[in-house]
Amino acid sequence: MLKREVGLRLFSVLTEHEATINILLNGCVHMLKNLVLERPLAFIDVETTGLKPNVDRIIELSILKIYPNGEREYKSHRINPEIPIPPGAIDIHGITDADVANEPEFRQYAKSIKDFIDGCDMAGFNITRFDLPFLEAEFKRAGVEFSRRSRQFVDVQVLYHLLEPRDLNAAYLKYCGKEMERSHTAEGDATAAAEILDGQLEMHSELPRNVADLCAICYSVRDDYVDPDGKFIWSEGEVVCNFGRKHNGRRLKDIAAEDPSYLQWMVGADFAAEVKELVSKALSGEFPKPP
């Protein structure tokens, strides 16, 4: 999110529990040269233990505060969530329990964070559905009052989806040159998909003209895939994990023996049925034979 995209990438050098960097306009490019600010705008991003603000916790918080005169401030914290970080979350942001074990809890930062964004409007990518609800939940647990009232919110993701739609209606308009008449009906959508494909082939001469080659672009199942999604692959006659950071490249047998909780998490997480069946059997000591 924001902290991975801001041009100066200063978050990577923040090593203290609380780091605030003031960057004066003198000698710096105005980051929001196309936006008129009447008061500071705070861009917020959080990394968390999961997706549910009522039970999950923030483990990293970064705020980029931009003033109307172009001056900028950063505040970034690693935070002890006081609960274990699930393997699936670690696969996304790479922050482990050990990384935050000695960091302060959110309640120790809550007042300074609240003061830092006091009087600010707020912005971010998916902030209204993710970052803001998490921040509100943490403030509530810490007993620090925080309100959306009198603030303006700018969600960059909402603007992106508004300006660059990626649904069937948008594709139909682009490749068929007209509005759909029967959208969200099975017959209408299936017919539209056929027309869109023909329009894509007409517009893009680089696309192949046979189904097999189009399939190779859209849906490739390699010979070494153990499951259709390629979460596990064959390597030298062994089933090997092919995703994430924690166990990528490790044999399924070793994961089952040394970290069964990871496979138990996979059984309850959002994986395909074939993957869940594979790891369930592995937990029972049953592994597929090489093809």
Residue range 247-275, pLDDT digits in tens? 999 999 999 999 999 999 999 998 888 89
Q: 273: domain range?
A: 232-283
174 and 65 both lie in a single domain: no
14 and 58 both lie in a single domain: yes
Would you say residue 32 lies in a domain? yes
pLDDT digits (tens, 9 = 90+) for 52-106: 898 899 999 999 999 999 899 999 999 999 999 999 899 989 999 999 999 999 9
- Where does the pLDDT of residue 7 fall: very low under 50, low under 70, confident under 90, or very high at 90 and above? very low
Would you say residue 153 lies in a domain? yes
* Res 160: pLDDT: 87
* Res 102: pLDDT: 95
110 and 243 both lie in a single domain: no
- Where does the pLDDT of residue 18 fall: very low under 50, low under 70, confident under 90, or very high at 90 and above? very low
132 and 236 both lie in a single domain: no
Q: Which residues are registered as beta bridge partners of 76?
A: 19, 62
151 and 43 both lie in a single domain: yes
Would you say residue 241 lies in a domain? yes
Would you say residue 278 lies in a domain? yes
- What proportions of the chain, in percent to the nearest 5, are helix, strand and coil? 40, 15, 45
For residue 11, pLDDT over 70 is answered with no
56 and 114 both lie in a single domain: yes
pLDDT digits (tens, 9 = 90+) for 154-164: 999 888 888 88
Residue 208 neighbours by CB under 8 Å, 6+ apart: 214, 216, 217
Count the domains in the chain.
3
108 and 199 both lie in a single domain: no
Task: Compute the Cα dihedral for 99, 90, 45, 23 and give only its sign.
Answer: positive
The CATH number given to whatever domain includes residue 139 is 3.30.420.10
* Res 217: pLDDT: 82
198 and 250 both lie in a single domain: no
